[in-house]
Structure 1
Amino acid sequence: MKRIEMFFHSESFIQLIKYVLIGILGLVVDFGIYIILTHFAVNVEIANIISSTCGIINNFFWNSYTNFKVHDRMLLRYISYFLVGQITTVFTTVSLFIFVTKLGLPHLLVKVVATFVAVLIQFVINKLVTFRKSRRYFN
């Protein structure tokens, strides 16, 4: 019981909560742009690439300044964050291609599920790599 209590007061848990809240803001950007683009008949895979990229850029700056509070070597951190985001953009785009284009499932449902999985992957990689406070990573 004590370990569970300690976890909920840990820096990692607080960062996860902030990451989720910032992620919600990013999802508003991502899904807002995605819905607008698909409304105007842009291909779902192309719409996903554009909207996800906008969400990634938005979230990098919020996470850098308000969550992980790491401001050194911003260009390198941005490149790292962007690449991690694009890896998960590939995951969501492939999911859309398979489940929407090939299997005919509803595109918003597939995007929601794929995005949820992508967020978990992004948090772990970004915490361990992009926003790592150790100077060894970037030296």
Structure 2
Amino acid sequence: MRKIDKLIRSESFIQLVKYVLIGVLGLVVDFGIYTILTHFKMNVEIANIISSTCGIINNFFWNSYANFKVHDRLILRFISYFLVGQITTIFTTISLFIFVTKMCFPHLIVKIIATFVATLIQFVINKIITFRKSKNKI
């Protein structure tokens, strides 16, 4: 029981919980924009790229200030976060292309599943690379 308590109180676990909560906010932005764009018959892949990009930008600022609390090298961190986000946007866009455009699966179900997988990948990469604390405090 102590190991579980220690894990739950660890900085990494708390950051993961905050990352997920911020991710939910980002999903509202992402899926809101995606739903509006696809409602007006925009191609699902293009709608995904636009909506995911908006969610990525939203989440960067929340994670930087409210979760990982790192404010140094903000431009470099944003570029890193944005690139990681765009890699996972490519993953979700390819998933939409394969499972929606080619195989006719429901687009919202595919986007939900692909986004969930992408979020796990993003957390690990962003924790290790984008939001690591600087060793040299100026």
TM-score range, shorter chain: over 0.9
Q: 1:2 and 2:2 equivalent?
A: yes
Q: What secondary structure, in the 3-state scheme, does the structure 1 residue paired with 2:70 have?
A: coil
Counterpart of 1:98 in structure 2: which amino acid?
I
Letter in 2 for 1:126: N
Task: State the 1:135 CA deviation.
Answer: 3.4
Number of the residue aligned with 1:48? 48
Separation (CA, whole Å) in 2 of partners of 1:135 and 1:59: 24
Instruction: Note the C-alpha offset of 1:2.
Output: 2.1
Extract unaligned runs of 5+ from structure 2: none
Residues 1-139 of structure 1 correspond to what in structure 2 (within 5 A)? Answer: 1-135=1-135
SS of equivalent to 2:42: coil
Cα displacement string for residues 37-69 of structure 1 (whole angstroms, at most 9, x for unaligned residues): 000000000000000000000000000000000
Cα displacement (A) at 1:109: 0.1
Aligned-partner Cα distance in 1 for 2:14–2:48: 29
Superposed CA RMSD in Å reads 0.9
- TM-score by length of structure 1 reads 0.96
Whole-Å separation in 1 of the counterparts to 2:135 and 2:23: 26
Counterpart CA distance in 2 for 1:28 and 1:66 is 18
Give the partner amino acid of 2:106.
Answer: P
Q: What is the rounded CA distance, in whole Å, between the counterparts of 1:71 and 1:96 in structure 2?
A: 35
After TM superposition, give the deviation of residue 70 of structure 1 in Å. 0.1
In structure 1, stretches of 5+ residues that fail to align are none
Equivalent pairs counted in the alignment come to 136
Q: What is the TM-score of this pair, normalised by structure 2?
A: 0.96
State the identity %: 79
Provide the C-alpha distance between the structure 2 equivalents of 1:120 and 1:96, rounded to a whole number of angstroms. 18
